Amino acid sequence: MATAAKTLGILPRPTAATGFWSWVATVDHKRIGILYGVTAFFFFLVGGIEAWLMRLQLARPGLELVTAKTFNALFTMHATTMIFLGVMPLLAAFMNYLLPLLIGARDVAFPRLNAFSYWIYLFGGIFINVGWLMGTAAGHVPDSGWFGYANLTSVEFSGGLGPDFWTLGLLLLGIGTLVSGFNFIVTILNMRAPGMSLMKMPIFVWTILVTSAIIIFAFPSVTVALIMLMFDRAFAANFFEVAAGGSVVFYQHLFWTFGHPEVYILILPAMGIVSEVLPVHARKMLFGYSVMVFSTALIGFMGFTVWSHHMFTVGMGPVVNSIFSLTTMAIAVPTGVKIFNWLSTMWGGQIRFTTAMLFAIGFIACFTIGGLSGFMHASAPSDAQQHDTYFVVAHIHYVLIGGSIFAIFSGIYHWFPKVFGRLLDERLGQWNFWLVFAGFHTFAFPFHFLGLLGMPRRIYTYAPGLGWEFWNLLSTIGVFVLAAGILVFIANVVVTMRKPMDAPADPWDGRTLEWTLPSPPPVYNFAVVPRVHLRDAFWFHKHPEGKEQALEYGEPHPGPIHLPGQSLMPVLLALGPTVAATGVLFVRMRESFAVPVIVAGFVIALLALWGWAFEGEGGTLIEPGEGS
Amino acid sequence: MAHHAHETNTGIDNRKLGFWLFIASESIFFACLLVGYLVYKDGYQPGAGPRDLFNIELTTVSTFVLLMSSLAMVLGVNAAQRNLGRKARRWVLVTALMGLAFLGFQAYEFTHFYHAGLSLSSSVFGTAFYTLTGFHGAHVAVGVIWLLTLLYHGRGAGLTADKADDVEVAGLYWHFVDIVWIVLFTVLYLLEFVQ
């Protein structure tokens, strides 16, 4: 790595290139991506342990390993953790690390905001989990379901602090997610390498663009719902107090106008990852690129037209139910188009069954099953039967594990050498895949049968003789196999990280710009930003098919490259709202020092913003050269 | 942050584009709060309702002040772009003062309503009204702080052309908050009195 030359700007910014504070103050999208990845994987394990405890409890009828209240806390925190602290940030890790590399940019549009997103995500994640330290019995762990339906969450029915940790924590997380959304859209629209028109972008970039658009339009409605809930609980407002004329169905509408698009926030980037992995390991161009682009955009739009299918049993009437049935079923069209495009991409390709490829193929298989059960829910009468049974649980696990998690593992194996300069062990990788694949189906497929046998979701135990024993036991065994697969993955990472950094720049014969860089890439990404003439430009640069030049390198940048300076303001700015949220928690506890704490939070945020605005451009000048 | 500004694919400055996206997102935020108000506005029994409480003349005046503040903001942005630093600074100051005046009107209105028996907990109407207008007021307050920061930024030579983008982005925010108020004023106050 080049040496930091000189610091620009008025106020000094931190400059340490290594050590703890260099990570706290970093604004480099690659380091932020790694921070996201490690933190999210930790939370993913926490969510997994919560799932494991639930499966132990349900292994046999009549077990009393955990109390009903703890079970409620477990299923609530499992879903909340997996969705908001695990899968979304794992995908954000890919977006952060790869987006600038994929489009030939030196960083994202707003590096400091990017760091802020991470820190507020971390604080929000901790905030939601604090209740565990206070014990589940008093209701201080969120235990009203991941949707937090009013009036399960009203003070009357949830007197503990659980829903307060949940609403305030999610509000913090939402801020970070929104900021990432703005940041990514601006980066994609404004900072592509010369010649890379929108229709020449890697498909993963397209899915990031559409996902970010969904984020900025979907998160406001849940923000409003959470604010209303918080007002009801902390300030005795009446939004969802039925006795005062409040409407709990209004909460559901607000929640699901976010909640359904959220599903696509979780799956579109996963689809993007798979769409990058498949062509590389099948050594073929992605089939139907433009159709993939339009189906992505269409799914993004249609995601907003279907929220009421989560409320078929609320009693909205046959007309509303029919309309939302139709719009929901219509989403199967662009989704099906994608599946057939992936299959066509593999058709006739020179497929290498690497671990990354296995997970990508596994994704297609599992996600298709999840899509089919989704289509069954789309029919309102059928949904009325399946509602709140394990059939729904089967569906969400097939799209979220079989979909998002498989794609994430595929992406990890694919890009690990780029990020850490070492290739993950393929032999352990195969064990990893097959254990996860077998474990996942053993654990989640029985949910279909349990659902059809009428087992309701969210029950903490059940009586014997209902025909549920076998499938529940099988499912619990599956969790152990799945967990073994995850442990193999962790072992793989540990073993690999002990090896020397010897990964080549382009281990898979890749197609996109990140593979033109050394592994890991230099801090400035591209010493010379290439001019792009074709889709998959790097591939055609290596394997020219016609006369047209695919990639073109201009003259090197004259003089050193300016990189944005490190800053402590993002972490401070993230601290402000966290302190304010703690203050609101104290309001709820009727503590006398609540208001001063809220004020302190705002003061911290203001000071951070002040520092942000006036700490100067800062930055370091780096002489490109080494390794590129 | 600004070092990429001169060479973006769209030709639009990063911060400006980011801000338009923020505004798009905030529009949904206010739309959801407004829907909440419309769902709940008739739920004021046994307390006083909108027609008993609203002082349309007073709110018209405060709305006019906020509208005019947008004019002052435009003049400020224009002056900054023409490198008239001190003039720009003066108009930004006027904008901030008008924003403060609007907040004063709102504080008066809230106090008045509160004494007439309407509170956040008195009815769903009260809940929805204070939340919606309160969030708008909070946005105005953030805008005022922002403008004051700009004034500090422009101490000395004023808000000269090199700071024109800073002024313009603040202006985008200010106009947005103003437009939201026009919608709120129309839906909450004016339409309430349409027969």
Q: Which residues contact A268 (CB under 8 A, 6 or more apart)?
A: A207, A210, A211, A214, A296, A299, A300
SS3 state of residue A141: coil
Residue B93 CA to residue A363 CA, distance in Å, equals 58
Q: Which residues contact B51 (CB under 8 A, 6 or more apart)?
A: B192, B193
Distance in angstroms between the alpha carbons of the first and the last residue of chain A: 10
Nearest Cα neighbor of A283 from A370, A346, A228, A343 is A346
Q: Does B78 touch chain A (CB under 8 A)?
A: no
- pLDDT score at B5: 42
Asked which of A1-5, A285-289, A291-295, B113-117 is least confident by mean pLDDT, the reply is: A1-5
Reported as a pLDDT band with limits 50, 70 and 90, residue B3 is very low
Reported as a pLDDT band with limits 50, 70 and 90, residue A136 is confident
CA–CA min distance B136, chain A (Å): 13
- pLDDT score at A14: 78
Give the tens place of pLDDT for each residue, A606-622.
999 988 888 876 777 88
CA–CA min distance B4, chain A (Å): 8
Q: Choose between B7 and A506: higher pLDDT.
A: A506
Residue with token string 């950094």: A501
Q: Does A16 touch chain B (CB under 8 A)?
A: no
Measured between beta carbons, the chain A residues lying within 8 angstroms of B18 are: 109-110, 182-183, 185-186
CA–CA min distance A343, chain B (Å): 34
DSSP secondary structure letters along A540-555: HHHS--SSS-SEE--S
Reported as a pLDDT band with limits 50, 70 and 90, residue B28 is very high
Provide the number of CB pairs (under 8 Å) joining chain A to chain B.
Answer: 119
Q: Does B5 touch chain A (CB under 8 A)?
A: no
Exposure string for B80-91, b = 16+ CB within 10 A, e = fewer = bbebbbebbbbb
Give the tens place of pLDDT for each residue, A103-113.
999 999 999 99
- pLDDT score at A613: 85
What is the share, in percent, of chain B residues with pLDDT greater than 70?
Answer: 96
- pLDDT score at A562: 84
Q: Does B153 touch chain A (CB under 8 A)?
A: yes
Residue B180 CA to residue A250 CA, distance in Å, equals 22
Q: Output the average pLDDT for chain B.
A: 93
Residue range A352-367: average pLDDT? Answer: 97
Q: Which of A190, A221, A617 sits opposite B32 (nearest CB)?
A: A221
Does residue B6 carry a pLDDT above 90?
no
For residue A200, what is the DSSP state?
A: G
Measured between beta carbons, the chain B residues lying within 8 angstroms of A219 are: 25
Q: Do B153 and A613 touch (CB under 8 A)?
A: yes
- Which of B6, B8, B9 is most worth mutating to test chain A (most A CB atoms within 10 A of its CB)? B9
What is the share, in percent, of chain A residues with pLDDT greater than 70?
Answer: 97
Q: Output the average pLDDT for chain A.
A: 93
Nearest Cα neighbor of B38 from B118, B106, B124, B121 is B124
Asked which of A341-345, A559-563, B22-26 is least confident by mean pLDDT, the reply is: A559-563
Reported as a pLDDT band with limits 50, 70 and 90, residue B194 is confident
Burial of B150 (0-12, 13-18, 19+ CB in 10 A): buried
Alpha helices in A59-161 (DSSP H): 68-80, 88-103, 111-129
Residue A556 CA to residue B173 CA, distance in Å, equals 39
ipTM for this prediction:
0.94
Reported as a pLDDT band with limits 50, 70 and 90, residue A11 is low
Does residue A10 carry a pLDDT above 50?
no
Q: Does A112 touch chain B (CB under 8 A)?
A: yes
Q: Choose between A18 and A247: higher pLDDT.
A: A247
- pLDDT score at A15: 74
Q: Does A587 touch chain B (CB under 8 A)?
A: no
Evaluate the CA torsion angle A174, A176, A180, A182 in order and state its sign: positive
- pLDDT score at A625: 67
CB atoms within 10 A of CB A496: 18
CA–CA min distance A111, chain B (Å): 7
Does residue A72 carry a pLDDT above 90?
yes
Does residue A8 carry a pLDDT above 50?
no
Measured between beta carbons, the chain A residues lying within 8 angstroms of B127 are: 231, 237-239, 244, 246
User: What is the separation of C-alpha B87 from the centre of its chain, rounded to a whole number of angstroms?
Assistant: 23
Q: Do B120 and A186 touch (CB under 8 A)?
A: no
Q: Which of B21, B31, B123 sits opposite A186 (nearest CB)?
A: B21
Residue range B106-133: average pLDDT? Answer: 96
- pLDDT score at A7: 43
Residue range A325-339: average pLDDT? Answer: 96
Q: Does B3 touch chain A (CB under 8 A)?
A: yes
Residue in A with minimal Cα distance to B119: A237
User: What is the separation of C-alpha A287 from the centre of its chain, rounded to a whole number of angstroms?
Assistant: 26
Return the structure tokens found at A280.
């590389």
A618 neighbors A568 (Cβ within 8 angstroms): no
Residue in B with minimal Cα distance to A220: B29
Measured between beta carbons, the chain A residues lying within 8 angstroms of B32 are: 220-221, 224-225, 254, 257
Return the structure tokens found at A221.
């409605």
CA–CA min distance B120, chain A (Å): 5
CA–CA min distance A536, chain B (Å): 19
